[in-house]
Structure 1
Amino acid sequence: MVQDRQVGRVRRNKPADRAKQANDPDAPTSPEALPPLAVLPLATTTLTLTALLTALAPRYGFHRDELYFLAAGHHPAWGYDDQPPLTPLLARFSTAVFGETPAGLRVVATLAAVVIVVLATLIARELGAGGKAQTLAAVCTASSGLVLAVGHMVSTATFDLLMWLLVTWIALRLLRTRDPRCWPALGLAVGVAGQNKDLIVLLVAALLVGILTVGPRDVLRGWRPWLGALIALAIVLPNVVWQARHGWPQLTVARGISEADGTLNRTMFVPQQILFLSPLLVPVWVLGFRRLLRDPAVRWARAVAVAYAVTCAAMLAIGGKAYYALALLIVVMAAGCEPLLAWMGGHWRTRRARLVLTIGVLSATVNAVLALPLLPPRHLGIPNAVDQEQGEQVGWPALVRTVADGWAQIPADQRANAVLYAVNYGEAGALAHYGPDYGLPYPYSGHVAFYGWARPPDSATGPILLVVKESKVDRQRPYFTGCRQVGRVDNGHGVDNEEQHAVVLLCAGTAEPWSQLWPHLRKYY
């Protein structure tokens, strides 16, 4: 009640804003015409999320992508074959400060999840949500499957989700207030996002389509939008130059992923949109869409609803992954919290409120089991049926031990000319991280950025210890001679992940010198 009276005082102090909105729903409002921020509920939600993610961070082990980011962080550059530099840079920072362990690496992911929840709450507030609706937005976001997953482990999606929400929040503030001073901040956010993933271009394009379609178009007038664009371009330019100098490998990676997984991504797009947040949150999204499209009080924000539709259409057209569009769905969810609260009767003591609370607890529990390392590894078949990312955190030390046993079979006097070669970046990242503890040399690989970091010298004539997934063995035979199997990976938990039953081959040599062979071993995806 105190919070509601505070909201009332804020709104009564702005009669001019209310009059403008009544006469013209597209009229701008002053930056201060917002309900107070629900500081205590937001702090409680974020602290709970932080405690949960921190407690579970050491469980299982590194994800294959995290091992790759660790390796990339030790090879700093303005770009890599498959990504801009921000995520490897943050991985390097986190491990340098907190230790090169899963818990140390994941500190930045936990912090990112907290900021994601804060941004979702600020977005709900920007759309006029009072304290209770802001609390709903914070809790729904913090307990959603995607936020729990990206908060548990470091990935490009972790910071992509954060930056999409930041860009959208600034854009909403621009649309509501028409304050052109938002443009430099928007350009800064877009530029930083572009140093994490080029996909931010899609968000900018979708928002522009939304604004041009349903307005308010006057925010695009003047010179400040061009200033924002120049700021963004200046920040991303080093990565653009790097990509141009290296033949635009990211485009090759993206094209390959689309060709390999496009059909599956299109088929699973709608189910994963629902599953990756929670099927039980669908009614909140529906309320949010309805509000954005029909409520005169937020008519100025309709461009966001259009932007989500444009983003989904683009993802279906190019065969992109479903989670690329989920940031805007979180915005729509935040918009739905105010009408959900009204449906509940405005407080937590009604029968409808108890129903919502029960559903929320059920949703959070299911999401936690599917997204977080709560189950014993031997039971990971349950979450892996929905998403295989948890399974990719199991078995890397076992893989390296198996490889070390194979390396021990190479006579000591031949090891100076021997090569350790891993076919994919997960194997190479695991060998780079754990290998020194087992006396292994640094691995070579032709996969994504590993290809450019080092190539075996032609003087390394063999033997070659080759690590490869069981299903990919035949593809390697034309490149290596005299191969025999000396090991087979077993993660010890029966987890059916990508490296389970991978084989270790000891080969006598290569079919041709490394300098000629190396381009044929390059893998973009």
Structure 2
Amino acid sequence: MDPNEKRLAWGLVLLKFALPFLLSHPAFELHRDEYLYYAQGRHLALGYLENPPLIGLLGWVSSLFGGGDFWIKFWPSLFGAATLWLTLRLVKGFGGGLYALLIAGLGLILSAYLRVHFLFQPNFLDIFSWTLASFFLQRYLLRQQHRDLYWLAGALAFGWWGKYSVLFYVLALLLALLATKHRVLLVRRPLWIAAAIGAALVLPNLAWQYFHNWPLVHHMQELRDTQLQYLSKTDFLKEQLLMFLPVSFVCIGGLWWLFRSATFRVFGFLYVFILALLMLGSGKGYYALGIYPVLLAAGGRWLEGALRARALRLTAAGVIVALALPAIPLLLPLQAPPAMAATNERWGLKDMGILRWEDQKDHALQQDFADMQGWRELTEKTERYFQRLPDSTKAGTVVFGRNYGFASAMAYYAKDPYFRSRIISDNGTHLLWIPDRFHYRHILFVGEEAPPPGDVVWEHFARIHVVDSCTNALSRQYRSPILFFEQTDSTGLRLAVEGIREMKAKFRR
């Protein structure tokens, strides 16, 4: 890069890192998933039931700095900035100049990545690893040096430790090689050495998966049964357009440019095969986000060649910014919740389906934003009640979160270490953290709703006290109750212990 290109690149990278912190309103808490991944950092392991362990390791590092919201949000912003830097390097590899860098940078800053790089979820690791792999693939295509294949394998192994969906990239890459002149790589030793390196790097997690009876398979089946089977291929393709609406013409132009290039045509096939595999696997639209930095980089190169006049170039950049600005409030929580609800009403977002949650009902806020409230309130009320109990009652009480969100959020906001040590849940990875031998007389329950009639464990308590509930009407946790189940009998305890043992047995060899 020349000096002007470097200045632009660093300016875009710094803007990418800072933007989520500058635009998000402090009234919002963490998202329920973020509490889970941070909680994994308190239980370091080579794997978890829902995801690989890398994000838990990052959560542990954040805890060394106090575990505040900034240090949790630091990682998606940092990896987002690193992804942008790699995208700009891809632009240079494609032969792009200053204007191509600007277009690719705007595309990465003003699109769906704005939301992804605000949330402490494995998606930011997935996108980074795909982009890193694409960078080393491009370097190999340009230099034909075997070490770039080894680095490519390392990038894909890093992706495995971040999110298992990197398998889609691996399979699509093999198909893309078969579809182009680069198929000769498949019969050459360097590629298989690279594959062996990648396999060795992921072996510890594969061993963990084996000894825990392949929870990845269990998790994928659960996703398919509860979510993925209801996704349509039409909606999947529609999402590809909506995620990059301001720069959709750049992505389309980039794909066309890649297919016209004999050197880089493999990237065009890589994109097509990734979409095809995701549709066949009923993947969600955002699963494909990792391949779009390549399209944005190629699209910047294409647009730079297509537009020679300065006025046309400025107009195109202005159109991207103008189209992106209205979408920013949909991607980041810019306003306090009441003000956001009023804005949503004024803009008529209900009519667009943007406010429809998983329950298929329309609400005042987007589901993700509603899921960033109410957690602190529930924790404070639960902990306050626990502290008022006699010491003898505390010793016989467990705090039960009905799902990972309640348990992880209480563990995050709890002030008393003893209260935190009493928190359990049988949902997801929290199940593995329950001691094999545990005893209780009382349960302080927090969940979306009270246990339903007929649940044999909950019917063995002498009394039930309604403690409180979440009163934030804009929270997804609104009206979630806090209940104190007092004095279980020996049968209730036995049924609970046996039930936990049976659930954990599914993940043991």
- TM-score normalised by the shorter chain: which range applies? 0.7 to 0.9
Question: For residues 466 and 345 of structure 1, what CA distance do their matches in structure 2 show?
Answer: 65
Partner of 2:206: 240
Residues in 1 aligned to 2:102 and 2:420: alpha-carbon distance in whole angstroms: 52
Q: 1:219 to 1:456 in 2, by over 3 A?
A: closer
Q: 1:522 to 1:457 in 2, by over 3 A?
A: closer
Q: Does 1:356 align with 2:338?
A: no
Q: Secondary structure at the match of 2:227?
A: helix
Q: Give 1:428 deviation, angstroms.
A: 0.5
Counterpart selection for 2:278 from 315, 327, 336: 315
Letter in 1 for 2:434: A
Which residue of the other structure, out of 355, 358, 361, is the alignment partner of 1:385?
A: 355
The alignment status of 1:79 with 2:47, answered yes or no, reads yes
Shift of 1:287: 0.8
- AA aligned opposite 1:465: L
Partner of 1:131: 98
2:75–2:120 Cα contact (<8 Å) kept: yes
Per the TM alignment, residue 405 of structure 1 is displaced from its structure 2 partner at its CA by 4.8
**What does residue 459 of structure 1 align with?**
439
Kept after mapping to 2: 8 A contact 1:266/1:320: no
Q: Which residue of 2 aligns with 1:218?
A: 184
What percent identity do the matched residue pairs reach? 23
Could you say what the CA RMSD is over the residues aligned between the two structures, in angstroms? 2.7
SS across alignment from 2:367: coil
Aligned-residue offset at 1:222: 2.7
| 1:332-351 aligned within 5 A | 332-347=295-310, 350=311
Q: Deviations over 1:276-324 (max 9, x none)?
A: 3x3122111111121112x2xx222222222222222222222222111
Distance 1:144 1:475, change over 3 A: farther
User: Structure 1 residues 76 and 210, CA, compared in 2 at 3 Å: closer, same or farther?
Assistant: same
Give the SS at the match of 2:483: strand
Q: Do 1:380 and 1:495's aligned partners in 2 also have CA atoms closer than 8 Å?
A: no
Alignment partner of 1:515 is 2:497: yes
The CA deviation at 1:78 is 0.7
| Partner Cα distance (1:271, 1:522) in 2 | 40
Q: Which runs of 5+ in 1 are unaligned?
A: 7-35
Q: Does 1:63 align with 2:31?
A: yes
Shift of 1:266: 2.9
Q: 2:236 aligns with which of 250, 264, 269?
A: 269
The residue number in structure 2 matching 1:399 is 378
Residue 414 of structure 1: which of 393, 396, 413 is its match?
Answer: 393
Q: Deviations over 1:376-427 (max 9, x none)?
A: 1224554862863233222210111232355367554322111111111111
Q: Label 1:455 to 1:266 Cα distance change in 2 as closer, same or farther (>3 A).
A: farther
For 1:103 and 1:475, locate their aligned partners in 2 and report how far apart those are by CA, in whole Å.
42
Q: TM-score, normalised by structure 1?
A: 0.84
Q: 1:55 to 1:454 in 2, by over 3 A?
A: same
CA distance in 2, matches of 1:357, 1:476: 61
Match runs of 1:116-195 below 5 Å: 116-145=83-112, 147-195=113-161
What is residue 105 of structure 1 aligned with on the other side? 72
How far 1:54 sits from its partner (Å)? Answer: 3.5
Q: SS at 2:482's partner residue? A: strand
Q: 1:448 aligns with which of 405, 411, 428?
A: 428
What's the counterpart of residue 24 of structure 1? none
Q: Is the 8 A contact 2:246 2:321 kept in 1?
A: no
Q: Which residue of 2 aligns with 1:299?
A: 262
Is the contact made by 2:236 and 2:279 (CA closer than 8 Å) also made in structure 1?
yes
Deviation at 1:68, TM superposition (A): 1.0
Structure 1 residues 328, 246: closer, same or farther in 2, change over 3 A? same
Q: Could you tell me which of 181, 184, 204 is aligned with 2:170?
A: 204
Q: Which moved more, 1:395-404 or 1:71-80?
A: 395-404
Structure 1 counterpart of 2:32, one-letter code: R
The separation in 2 between residues aligned to 1:107 and 1:41, in whole angstroms, is 22
Q: Is the 8 A contact 2:403 2:426 kept in 1?
A: yes
Which of 193, 197, 200 aligns to 1:231? It is: 197
SS of the residue 2:162 aligns to: coil
Matched, 1:42 2:21: no
Ranges in structure 2 where 5+ consecutive residues have no aligned partner? 357-365
Task: Output one character per residue of 1:50-93: Cα deviation in whole Å (capped at 9) or x when no partner.
Answer: 23233356832222122112211011111111111101101211
User: Does residue 388 of structure 2 align to residue 435 of structure 1?
Assistant: no
TM-score, scaled relative to structure 2? 0.86
Partners of 1:54 and 1:399 in 2: how far apart? Answer: 25
Distance in 1, matches of 2:454 and 2:335, equals 36
Counterpart-to-counterpart distance in 1, 2:501 and 2:281: 28
* 2:359 counterpart residue number: none
1:429 Cα deviation (Å)?
0.6
Deviates more, 1:234-243 or 1:383-392: 383-392
Asked whether the 8 Å contact 2:468–2:483 carries over to 1, the reply is no
- Go from structure 1 to structure 2 and tell me whether the alpha carbon gap of 1:116 and 1:523 turns closer, same or farther (over 3 Å shift): farther
Deviations 1:115-171 (A, max 9, x none): 1111111122222212211221112112222x2122222110011101110001111
The offset of 1:360, in angstroms, is 1.9
Q: Is the CA contact 2:127–2:291 (under 8 Å) kept in the aligned structure 1? A: no
In the superposition, relative to structure 1, how do residues 133 and 154 fare at CA in structure 2: closer, same or farther (>3 Å)?
same
In 2, distance between residues paired with 1:177 and 1:219? Answer: 14
Work out the CA distance in 2 between the residues paired with 1:108 and 1:141: 17
Distance in 2 of aligned mates of 1:327 and 1:171: 14
Equivalent position SS for 1:506: strand
